[in-house]
Structure 1
Amino acid sequence: MEIIRTRRRRPHIPEIRVEKKEEEDQPLSPAARLFHAPEFNCNIISVVGLKSKIKPDVIIEGIKQTLIRHPRFSCKLVKSSNNKRHEPKWVQTNVVAEDHVVIPKIDMHNIENAYADAFLDSYVSDLTTIPLDTSKPLWEVHLLDLKTSDAENVAILKIHHSVGDGMSLMSLVLACTRKTSNPDELPSLPYQKRSSSGSSRFSTGSRSYSQLVWLVMALWSVVMLVLNTVCDALEFIATAMFLKDTETPIKGNFRLSTSKRMRVVHRTVSFDDLKLIKNAMKMTVNDVVLGVSQAGLSQYLKRRYGNIYLFLLMNIYKQDLADIMAKGSKCTWGNWIGYIIFPFSIAFCDDPLEHLRRAKSIIDRKKNSFEALLTFIVGNFVLKSFGVQRAADILKRTLSNTTMSFSNLVGPIEEIGFYGHPVTYMAPSVYGHPHALTMHFQSYMNKMTISLTVDPTVISDPYRLCDDWEESLRSIKAAVQEQSSTQ
């Protein structure tokens, strides 16, 4: 059974300080420059449901004390004229928090409760068509005095992806929150104990096996690691050049343009159900989420296809959010993203647990590979050697040959407050890359929120996809319970 422990915090509110070296102008990292290419003008958008009425003055004051003290949230993008290439830089600027907070006037008399969710859907969709103002730091906070079916009011954070990756931004946003049970404490995050089976097998295990057997096992592990990495690298190269997914109704066409209006919808399910399946099947939560997603997509498509290649974004640093948020942490901020290509088998199975077994089998092999690290290194090399435009063309072609993106982030295990406002759910996602479907999963307390970013011209009924995902979760849970009762 997987052991999870919680890292506790002292009742101290740390300030987000700006070191002197960070106050100087800094060039954009290669990945940040890529996110500003026309093909990848990516933004992270996060819908946060609140349990109480929004107090704008309180939130603005909180932003002044925390968020804008971080260098990336107090820097604007400026193209340098000191060199012929006009490379952009982050330049420190005076930030007026009120300029980044948007409070739309909503006439609730004309919006019935039944249509509040549709209004929020439309509002977020409109945000995907409005670029951020590059004359100031690239972030906004929208405060909506709107009561929806699952929140009293709603806050929306829109941040350009060049500011940081999902893990970095989540750590910063959570650093701006506190436990509702103790307003002086930072959120408690699940901390997964690193597996030590490999090291014990090659150290203490060698005491019980002969030195020859230990050597054979070590060599075999290295051979499999190299073989898996080579196979994955060749598959990635083939995908970037010519290998395309099976054409399905959820595969969009972004070859001509990536500037499209997107829809961002969410659905919240029980995290306890996912953990029940995880423990019964001896898997990780990520294995379960991938397996249920495979079953849900199969149900949604209603017919049999070949393989769909899921373009899975993976953070190459195996750091927990708890580590990143720790005071004095040496974890690196920015976009540290590697890529793996994950084949989804879209098919109907008599045994719903077969989807879980397939997903676990593939992800276990992917874990025994340096594909994510290799794509990160090669991607940086291409960016530095051939420029942003060439790298953007290669990545766009790779993404266009795949079907969808997937990400999963862990969240707090206790209720938190966003500047004094209790949070009921968090639904982050990303748009701007050439995929008609992006699935993002965010855990929070005993909930898991599924956030879908879709191209409405390709997937006109995203809530139906949420229904199919939820129905697949119920059927898999029932199968697990039936299997447990017969054992």
Structure 2
Amino acid sequence: MYGSSANGSPSVAALPTSPLLPVRTPRKAPADDPTEEGEPVSPTARLMEPIYILVAVGLGCPVNLPVFSAGIAAQLARYPRFCSIQVTDESNGGNPRWVRTAVNMDDHTIIPTLDPVAVAADPDRAVEDYMASLPALPMDRSRPLWEFHFLDFPTSEATSTVVIRVHHSMGDGMTLITLLLASARSAADPTRLPAMPEQPARTGAIYAPPPRSAGVLAFVAWVWSYLVLAWNTMVDVTLFAATIAFLSDPHTPFKYVDRGAASSSRRRFVHRSIRLEDVKFIKNAMNCTVNDVLVGATSAALSRYYFRKAGCTNTSKICLRSILLVNTRPTSSLQTYVDMIESGKSNDVAWGNRVGYIVLPFHLAMHDDPLAYVPKAKNTVDRKKSSLEVIFTCKMGESFLKMFGLKAGAFIFGRMFANTTLAFSNLVGPTQQIEFYGHPVLFIAPSVYGAPQAVLVQYLSYNGTIKVSLSVDKEIIRDYTQLMDDFVESFGHIKDGASRLSTSIKQE
């Protein structure tokens, strides 16, 4: 089922894994490397050791493998992380660092041989089954930790599918979006880069209060905003510390009873599309943000699934918490980074994992009005915006790792995930259709595996649609397709409620 690479050699996915490579003597890096002996692996990247990113990309034409491979080789040569491996140096206390290495594209392009009967019977299921097989197949640590898997047969959504697997230590969501935009071209005009996503108002790293203005009341409001910020930060950091120590979410169908029960080999990856126009319609009707709508709809979907599984009409509220990974770079950096790459200054880009953590509550409840989930989500998100929790949690993890070593950092990281219920993320992708080396892209569905949680929810907007992607443990959530249906239906019910609200306002 797992096939071979483009040159007929064994697939990378089928090779056994190996620990970080020991290096006894310094290896000369290329002249454009930021450091002569290789850049140290960051503390955050070291904490990402068990986590991988898996992205399904639907193409609008059959795969032209020579053209696609040549394009990848030409683009990735500009990105240091994708041309490097992690090695340990005994002279530096065994701390890992990034060292440049030669990249053989045949080692990273994989064409699996699937059962033709299964593909003909249900091509969508064949893609899902293949993606589910990847977590059980280790990657070869002697090569850069990324792969392109080409599934060249039509499905209900695309003419062919490319599955990209990347180790999370190589970068976060912001890094991958930057690479995506810099490597792609506009489908309407292949000579241009894709249109950049509209950036939110924030220009600072995380929290930027409104500028101070004249007047006593304005001064009081300015001072009050900092007092609220300090209080919220203190509360959030205290709760974060309590989560690491003892504070755990209640048992629900979404959570492991025993943290040792987690297994990446049981992962299933499913996704659906919703219209960005519908989400923006809800946003305008409710006077909130797109992110507020996504958080509210997630609460609604989890509530539908939970109360149906519980088989009771008890509508008492239950609070679950998710780990939300937040990009700590300024939001204006996306355009800046893409411009740097285009001008040949990729070494100046802040690669890697520049993320902090927020513990984001999700409230499970049955509401007669489906719109009730959105204001609750808005209040929760607004509260989190007025806090420096993300900065403190990021620094706490890095400090523990530096002072007490990788085991202490990994312990905190593991406790953070084990005592919460799910992981949640929302990324903004290209606003227009893009193409990779002459291959038009129809959809992009990112997901993650390796975290000790049974459910991971990810959103990515692209070309007028939002992909809802779920990474689930099929032993914990056996009816994962029903959970996916609950997300789609929840968005539909909230949109219907927003339509009635807009109609009543117009009539008034």
Superposed pair shares fold, TM > 0.5:
yes
Separation in 2, partners of 1:63, 1:450: 27
TM-score normalised by length of structure 2: 0.87
Give the counterpart of 1:365 among 383, 394, 404: 383
Distance 1:314-1:21 versus aligned 2 partners, 3 A rule: closer
Q: Tell me how far 1:19 sits from its aligned partner.
A: 2.7
2:436 corresponds to: 418
1:277 corresponds to: 282
Could you list the per-position Cα deviations for residues 286-306 of structure 1 after superposition, in whole angstroms to 9, with x for gaps in the alignment? 111000111011111125452
Separation in 1, partners of 2:168, 2:160: 25
Give the counterpart of 1:202 among 212, 225, 232: 212
Q: Tell me how far 1:199 sits from its aligned partner.
A: 6.6
Structure 1 contact 241–398 (Cα < 8 Å) conserved: no
| Unaligned ranges ≥5, structure 2 | 1-29
Structure 1 contact 292–472 (Cα < 8 Å) conserved: yes
Separation in 2, partners of 1:326, 1:349: 47
Q: Tell me how far 1:318 sits from its aligned partner.
A: 3.3
Separation in 1, partners of 2:431, 2:45: 31
1:164 corresponds to: 171
Separation in 2, partners of 1:401, 1:324: 36
Distance 1:97-1:317 versus aligned 2 partners, 3 A rule: same
2:96 corresponds to: 88
Secondary structure at 1:21 match in 2:
coil
How many corresponding residue pairs? Answer: 459
Residues 1:49 and 2:54 are matched in the alignment: no
Structure 1 contact 54–145 (Cα < 8 Å) conserved: yes
Distance 1:486-1:201 versus aligned 2 partners, 3 A rule: farther
Structure 1 contact 265–451 (Cα < 8 Å) conserved: yes
Structure 2 contact 253–476 (Cα < 8 Å) conserved: yes
Give the counterpart of 2:498 among 475, 480, 487: 480
Letter in 2 for 1:345: H
Letter in 2 for 1:310: S
1:332 corresponds to: 350
Letter in 2 for 1:34: L
2:25 corresponds to: none
Residues 1:382 and 2:400 are matched in the alignment: yes
Structure 1 contact 296–472 (Cα < 8 Å) conserved: yes
Residues 1:76 and 2:85 are matched in the alignment: yes
* TM alignment of 1:170-319, pairs within 5 A: 170-194=177-201, 202-203=212-213, 206=214, 209=215, 212-253=216-257, 255-256=259-260, 258-261=262-265, 262-302=267-307, 303=310, 304=315, 306-319=318-331
Q: Tell me how far 1:441 sits from its aligned partner.
A: 0.4
Could you list the per-position Cα deviations for residues 191-232 of structure 1 after superposition, in whole angstroms to 9, with x for gaps in the alignment? 2252699876622xx2xx3xx323322221111000000010
2:105 corresponds to: 97
Residues 1:120 and 2:154 are matched in the alignment: no
Letter in 1 for 2:212: F
Segments ≥4 residues shifted beyond 3 Å: 106-110, 195-201, 328-331
Separation in 1, partners of 2:200, 2:483: 34
Letter in 2 for 1:235: L
Secondary structure at 1:407 match in 2:
strand
Secondary structure at 1:378 match in 2:
helix
Letter in 2 for 1:202: R
Structure 2 contact 53–446 (Cα < 8 Å) conserved: yes
Structure 1 contact 106–145 (Cα < 8 Å) conserved: no
Secondary structure at 1:443 match in 2:
strand
Q: Tell me how far 1:254 sits from its aligned partner.
A: 5.6
Q: Tell me how far 1:414 sits from its aligned partner.
A: 0.9
Matched-pair identity in %: 40
Could you list the per-position Cα deviations for residues 390-438 of structure 1 after superposition, in whole angstroms to 9, with x for gaps in the alignment? 1111221121111000001101111101221100100011111111000
Secondary structure at 2:198 match in 1:
strand
1:25 corresponds to: 38
| Unaligned ranges ≥5, structure 1 | 1-16
Structure 1 contact 25–89 (Cα < 8 Å) conserved: yes
Letter in 2 for 1:324: Y
Q: Which has the larger displacement, 48-57 or 142-151?
A: 142-151
TM-score normalised by length of structure 1: 0.90
Residues 1:391 and 2:401 are matched in the alignment: no
Separation in 2, partners of 1:315, 1:199: 18
Separation in 2, partners of 1:175, 1:98: 23
Q: Tell me how far 1:180 sits from its aligned partner.
A: 1.1
Structure 2 contact 200–331 (Cα < 8 Å) conserved: no
2:477 corresponds to: 459
C-alpha RMSD of the superposition: 2.0
Separation in 2, partners of 1:277, 1:476: 7
Letter in 1 for 2:96: P
Give the counterpart of 1:59 among 48, 53, 68: 68
